[in-house]
Amino acid sequence: MKSRIEQVMKKFADKCDYLEVHFEETEESCIGFNGPRLSDLGRRVDFGGNVRALHRGGWGFASFNSVDRLEEFAQYAVDQARTVGKEVSRLAETEPVVADVPVKLRSDPRNVSLEKKVEILRAYNKRALGFGDGVTSTVVTYFDRFHKFWFGSSEGSLVYQERVDIGGRVSPVAARDGDTQSYNVGFGGSDDFGVVKGLEAEIDEACAVALGKLDAPKIKGGEYTVILDPRLAGVFVHEAFGHLSEGDNVYEDENLQKVMKLGRRFGGSFLNVYDTGLDRGLRGHLVYDDEGVATEKTYLIREGELVGRLHSRETAGKMGEKPTGNARCLDYRFPPIPRMRNTCIAQGEATFDEMIAGIDYGVYCISASGGQTNGEMFTFTAANARMIRDGKLAEQVRDVTLTGNVFTTLENIDLIANDLAAHDGGGGCGKAGQFPLPVTHGSPHVRIRNVVIGGE
Amino acid sequence: MKKIIERALRRGAARAEVFYLNSLQTEVSYEAGRLKELANTEETGVALRLVKDGKLGFATTTKLTDLDRLVDDALATALCGDYIEFDFAVAGDLPDSRFFDKAIAELSVDEMMKHSEAGIARLLDYEKSIQAESGTSRNMQTIQVLNSDGVDAEFERTQYQFYVHGRLVEGTNMLDAGAYSGGTALDVDFDGLYKNAVDEFKRARTNVDLATGKTTVILTPRAVADIMLTLNFGVSGAYVEQGISPLVGKLGERIFDERITIRDDGLRSGGYRSAPFDDEGVPMQTTTLVESGVLRSYLTDLRTARKLNHADTGNGLKAKRLIGAKELGKAPAPEITNWVMEGGEKSHEELLSEIGSGVLVDSIMGLLMSNLIAGEFGGNLAYGLKIEDGKTTGRVKDAMISGNIYKLFRKNLVALSKDVELTGLLGGIGTHWYPYVVLRNVTIATKS
């Protein structure tokens, strides 16, 4: 593949300001159960590439499976960039990288037979279905992917990388009288098939939670003091702040740049938020991003003040900031754009007991069913919740969807605990049609005042 | 493709089915009001299902130079697969509907640029500090389904999509608005779309307070499409078979107000997902799901039709859940095509003018996290307007709507509008046709 990249560079590099070529080969196995049925069992080979050209600020992009027609697509990308470009190309400078990055695995999913994988998932599925009357169905998913990437640029970068992504979930579904409730046990990682193992206790707990939700009352809508557990707080920081920190939201918008100016205060001096690609084993781990930029740990908020954002070379270049290694693409069908890796609220000093003691009437929100943002406002949904009354955990409630505003909600965080934990589920992040990208999030327990929760 | 089937049979498969997809998509995209990128996406891939020793195997590849690997992979999965519970499609008559529009096939990059540029110009004319973006794309697909039982079918399809969108940031207030269209025939009132995008901005420039409580809401077609995700799940043969749809055992029963009629129309002219046959080679059709409030049909593929003893509605599609884009790596499963809901007596303007106080709901953020299967929907009002004395007075923010369609569409329906409009799901995916829907006593929680 490398020689094909070099050939394209030789022929086309001097016809535009910047040129890059990606190839990607992925092998995937996936398994799924819906109730007792093995609903999904497949193998997938995906092989393709793209050429991306930049000329006078305009991009031409061509992705393809017909790799034998590479030169034709390169010509297209270059021609289109020349059609689009009317200004100046500005990419933040980085050192060209020549590297081979084979993956180092603790346990390689490719060394485990498909039969064995099916057996493990089938046992989980049986366990959930056999939990008791009420757990009437399940959704179980599993995938493992082995990616090989080749990347080369007209600046002399030539990188071969391997990446592994493993993930999935076991969701017991409880149904009664037309009502359906479920709870997820998600798992994931980037270097260890072992993440699939040993989920029995979590599955039992998930069955109990799903059954409990059938009897639990819906929460009453209104404003509450809430404690988020580390899993939900991770989703919260991803939605509430991570997305707004992505350089492509800001770099062309002067009005937004005014409010997202470095140094702006977003929270108390005990609030620190970062995004990192350095944590080996997590799904958000990266060595080089999809522009060949080395990954790093990037602080977004330090002691309550905005100190950084997540950049591609283009957004960094246009804003006069440093690239951070956040340019990522879902696969070769898409150009890389600024995306998160592992986004965390940093360790605090409070304890859970201190947090709850100060709440007369509030909600303890546990684990996440997901979240979404449109920039300023965001929502995220607790997969389970319990009321807090007089400083103590009280009855289970359900349908807890929280909403907030990035410019006020972070300020309303008044306590951060000392129990930071990062968690990988089997899902992913979606943006600009690129879903699901493997990301991780983490946080300690967090207490927030005045959060609106929907409900009747 | 025939060779793949022959090879699979030679290697011991009793039956085999091949799905072939080739597509070429061209897209122009604009960011910050300027042309940003021209992109070409060529995609070619094959999916193989086979039956060996009574068990189903499945594999896909986009590496067409290594089709032996494809057959090996499918055979390997058949070893640990479940026993197959259905037969592949049999050859028969297919609808002669065509979804190939020369106007899309011949749409030039220059013309695509013109559509996007005109949309952006309209937004900037209205307010020059809007961050405007737009995309126009055309896609040409060839889809083939072959099997060892004699099916050998192929069609070509053209699709276009267009959006114009803007974000206006004033202080820490952000307002997003825009317009979308898509389909298999280029029959678009671009001017109308531009006007809608500008009108969305105009109506939401001031923020107004709303008290927590139950109120009358008018859902725009776009909001109805999103909320109907609940019913999309409810009528899915897969969820019915699994026993987790609330509509299990309800065929022939009244589930909604008698004014509600909904069809899944896989043959609709111009429909984004319209096709003569589904991804298993079964003819697509128009299926009445709800007729005057009564549940008439589920949506099925070959397997669930057999399992539920239900007609095969031709909805076996390889589609990414919700997003619906063809995803080669997925096995066919019951998936919606284009949904159409019948309208009512009065125009939506008349209906709005009759609302004394209420909220217009256009876009709900976080809807996907709701317990959709149970019919529940909820989230933050990303675009909602307060209504006083029959007029919209400004934008409602920091508000959460929640409800359950199996209650609201049965007991709380006030009216459906006469005008039925094309809309995409989730702000811009596919084509569905819905009226405005007025509901009473819907809960909205706010800060005040």
Q: What's the token pair of residue B204?
A: 């939401």
Cross-chain residue pair B32–A253, CB shorter than 8 Å:
yes
* Inter-chain residue contact A374 with B374, CB threshold 8 Å: no
Q: Which of B35, B58, B446 sits opposite A41 (nearest CB)?
A: B58
**Tokens, residue B344:** 């009512």
Write out pLDDT tens, residues B285-323. Answer: 999 999 999 999 999 999 999 999 999 999 999 987 666
Instruction: Give the pair of three-digit tokens for residue A373.
Output: 């943002």
What number is the average pLDDT over the span B146-162?
97
Q: What pLDDT does A89 receive? A: 95
How far is the alpha carbon of A180 from chain B, nearest alpha carbon, in Å?
6
Task: Judge whether A333 and B41 are in contact, CB under 8 Å.
Answer: yes
Q: Which of B64, B376, B380 sits opposite A379 (nearest CB)?
A: B380
Lookup: tokens for B39 = 């992109």
3-state secondary structure A129-156: HCCCCCEEEEEEEEEEEEEEEEEEECCC
Query: With bands split at pLDDT 50, 70 and 90, how would you rate the model's confidence at B447?
Result: confident
pLDDT tens by residue, B130-139: 999 999 999 9
Q: How many CB atoms lie within 10 A of CB A119?
A: 12
Tell me which of B369, B370, B373 to substitute to probe the interface with A (most A C-beta atoms closer than 10 Å).
B369
CB B378 within 8 A of CB B421: no
Cβ-based contacts of B374 with chain A (< 8 Å) = 178-181
CB-CB neighbors (< 8 A) of A121 in chain B: none
Q: Which residues of B touch A452 (CB under 8 A)?
A: 398-400, 445-447
pLDDT tens digits for range B337-361:
999 999 999 999 999 999 999 999 9
Q: What topology is assigned to B2-201 in CATH?
A: PmbA/TldD fold (3.30.2290)
Mark yes or no for CB contact A374/B174 under 8 Å.
Answer: yes
**Nearest CA of chain B to the CA of A96: how many Å?**
24
Q: How confident is the model at residue B428 (pLDDT cuts 50, 70, 90)?
A: confident
Domains recognised in chain A with CATH numbers: 2-215 (3.30.2290.10), 222-453 (no CATH)
Q: Is A66 in Cβ contact with B446 (below 8 Å)?
A: no
Task: Report CB contact under 8 Å: A60, B66.
Answer: no
Q: Structural domain boundaries of chain B? A: 2-201, 206-448
Read off the tokens for B257: 């107000």
Which residues are A432's β-sheet partners?
Answer: none
Instruction: Say how far apart CA B339 and CA B235 lie, in whole Å.
Output: 12
Please give the residue of chain B at the shortest CA–CA distance from A86.
Answer: B35
pLDDT at residue number B322: 63
Contact A65 B380 (CB under 8 A): no
The tokens for A85 are: 């470009």
Look at residue B429 in the predicted model and tell me its pLDDT: 84
Residue A197 CB contacts under 8 Å (≥ 6 apart), including other chains:
A120
Q: What is the pLDDT of residue B426?
A: 84
Mean pLDDT, chain B, whole residue set: 95
Mutation target among B19, B67, B250, B402 for the A interface, most CBs of A within 10 A: B402
| Report field, pTM of the whole predicted structure over 0.90 | yes
DSSP secondary structure, A78-94, as one string: HHHHHHH--S-------
Q: Do B366 and A371 touch (CB under 8 A)?
A: yes
- pLDDT at position A211 is 96
pLDDT at residue number B56: 96
Residue A375: predicted pLDDT: 85
Which chain B residue shows the shortest CA-CA distance from A223? B447
With CA atoms as reference, the chain B residue closest to A46 would be B62
| Chain A residues near residue B331 by CB distance under 8 angstroms | 40, 42
The nearest CA of chain B is from the CA of A172 a distance in Å of 11
Strands (E), B184-228: 207-208, 213-219
> What pLDDT does residue A151 have?
98
Nearest chain A residue to B250, by CA: A178
Q: Which of A40, A178, A452 sits opposite B400 (nearest CB)?
A: A452
- Of A34, A372, A407, which is closest to B172 when you measure between CB atoms? A407
Residuewise pLDDT in 10s, chain A (456 residues): 999 999 999 999 999 999 999 999 999 999 999 999 999 999 999 999 999 999 999 999 999 999 999 999 999 999 999 999 999 999 999 999 999 999 999 999 999 999 999 999 999 999 999 998 799 999 999 999 999 999 999 999 999 999 999 999 999 999 988 788 999 999 999 999 999 999 999 999 999 999 999 999 999 999 999 999 999 999 999 998 999 999 998 999 999 999 999 999 999 999 999 999 999 999 999 999 999 999 999 999 999 999 999 999 999 999 999 999 999 999 999 999 999 999 999 999 999 999 999 999 999 999 999 899 988 899 999 999 999 999 999 999 999 999 999 889 999 999 999 999 999 998 999 998 898 999 999 999 999 999 999 887
Nearest CA in chain B to A37: B82
Write down the pLDDT at residue A178.
Answer: 79
Let me know how many helices (H) and strands (E) chain B has, helices first.
11, 20
Between chains, do A454 and B79 touch, taking CB under 8 Å as contact?
A: no
Contact B402/A181, CB-based, under 8 Å?
Answer: no
For A371, nearest residue in chain B (alpha carbons):
B366
pLDDT value, residue B84: 93
- Write out the DSSP string of B37-50: EEEEEEEEEEEEEE
- Tell me phi and psi for residue A232, to 5 degrees: -70, -35
Query: In whole angstroms, what is the distance from residue B259 CA to residue B257 CA?
Result: 5
Per DSSP, which regions of B397-428 are E strands? 400-404, 413-425
Which residues from A are below 8 Å from B59, CB to CB?
42-45
d(CA B187, CA B270): 8
Say yes or no for a CB contact (<8 Å) between A180 and B244.
yes
- Backbone phi, psi, residue A145, to 5°: -130, 135
- Chain B residues with CB inside 8 Å of A379's CB? 365-366, 369, 379-380, 400
Q: Which residues of B touch A221 (CB under 8 A)?
A: 212, 400, 402, 443, 445
Distance from CA of B192 to the nearest CA of A (A): 25
